[in-house]
A = this chain, B = another copy of it.
Amino acid sequence: MSYALAADIGGTTVKLGFFSEAGRLLDKWEIPTNTDDNGKNVLPDIASAMDAYLKEKKIAGTDILGVGFGIPGAVLPNGSVNKCVNLGWGVVDIAEEFRKLSGFKAYAGNDANVAALGEVWKGGGRGYENAVMITLGTGVGGGVVLKGEIVAGSFGAGGEIGHIPMMDDETECCGCGKKGCLEQYASANGLVRVAGRLLKKSREASLLRSFDVVTAKAVCDCAREGDKLACEAIRFSMSLLGKAMASVSAVVDPQVFIIGGGLSKSGDLLLNPIREAYGRYVFHASRATEIRLAELGNDAGIYGAVKLVLNALKA
């Protein structure tokens, strides 16, 4: 029997997964991400963890089809990493380096892109082959999947939906250095920022005023209780997202959008204003695009990483 392994590398932990050839998740575990010395131990740590696991399970290395990686940075179409600030990496040829460490074939993609691939394969996008995933977390991540494959982009910036320019009058900087990116409004942090501005601007009573620190969860909870200002913040943030999605449809016209990340737990509270704005801004031909929630949670990355391996073997 053949297997494949996955490593979804985050800034603090690496999620590891062990899959059957058919794509069933057989086991998963985590190891810490050691970012010391420009992250030079990250790949060796993963190789050791996988080696120990396979020895323990008495699985021969020859039964491993390959290892897929999700990387929190830009990955070029050839799979090489082009700068990964979170890990301290510069240019890293993962396939070459990991083969030297482990003997396994390795394939890499950007983490948001790989999560999108996982959701299309086994999650909210099951049954579709053209999909765009948008992850609403600390930032806004994105991944474009066409004909079942990641659109990595010529400079590794495919699916950087969070950096679509949305507002010309923004005064604060986005993490990327620009001003007015979607991420500044539609991420968890963005929603908090939008709510904070509304609180400052108006004198209206709001449940949010009782919080020492307003979090995205607080905004969603208060909106669910009917708090007007919290509702307005969500409508503002998610309308911008719906509008950005209309732009995305005018480029790649996916069958489905998959909304994931921590914020997406609020479900219809977010989906309703997203759908309303999308319908208003989208080109008529794309009005029927599905907008669905992600289903795999934190496992999307390891699923997608293993799909990279299986896609490569198929090609």
Chain A interface residues (CB < 8 Å from chain B):
74, 130, 132, 142, 144, 146, 151-165, 176-178, 243-244, 246-255, 281, 283-286, 288-289
Contacts and interface: CB of A to CB of B under 8 A. Distances in A.
A-B CB proximity, top 4 nearest: A153-B253, A157-B285, A163-B283, A157-B253
A160 to B, nearest CB: 5
A163 B250 contact: yes
A176 B160 CA distance: 27
A249 B178 CA distance: 15
Contacts of A157: 249-250, 253, 283, 285-286
Contact of A246 (B165, B252, B288): B165
A159 B283 contact: no
B146 A130 contact: no
Nearest to A151: B252
10 contacts: A153-B253, A154-B253, A155-B286, A157-B250, A158-B251, A164-B246, A178-B281, A178-B283, A244-B247, A252-B252
Nearest to A155: B285
Most-contacted residue by chain B among A132, A153, A162, A286 (CB, 10 A): A153
A198 B118 CA distance: 50
Contacts of A251: 132, 144, 151, 158-161, 164, 247-248, 251-252
Nearest to A287: B155
A289 B176 CA distance: 17
